[in-house]
Amino acid sequence: MWDLERYSSNTAVIDDKGNNLSYGDLLSYERELCSRVESRSLVMLFARNTLGAFMVDNIPKN
């Protein structure tokens, strides 16, 4: 949808403790998440407003 690779080294998210994720990090997480979700699946996200909400490591593998 968006050309995030173009901005991969730029900061995308900063939390209240000063931790940050780049657009490149988000792309990596997006690719990992897509590899774990079957086509035509419904995905629900219940999360707090933290960087951990973006982390794929928190998602169980099938």
In a domain, 62, yes or no: no
Residue pair 25/6 in contact by the 8 Å Cβ criterion:
no
3-state secondary structure of 12: strand
Along the 62 residues of the chain, how does pLDDT read in single tens digits?
678 889 999 999 888 788 888 999 989 888 888 888 899 999 887 877 777 776 656 555 55
Length of the chain (residues): 62
**Residue 35 lies in domain:** 4-55
DSSP string, 20-31: EEEHHHHHHHHH
- pLDDT score for 18: 86
In a domain, 60, yes or no: no
DSSP state for residue 59 in the 8-state scheme: S
The structural domain count of the chain equals 1
- pLDDT score for 8: 94
Distance CA 12, CA 19 (A): 11
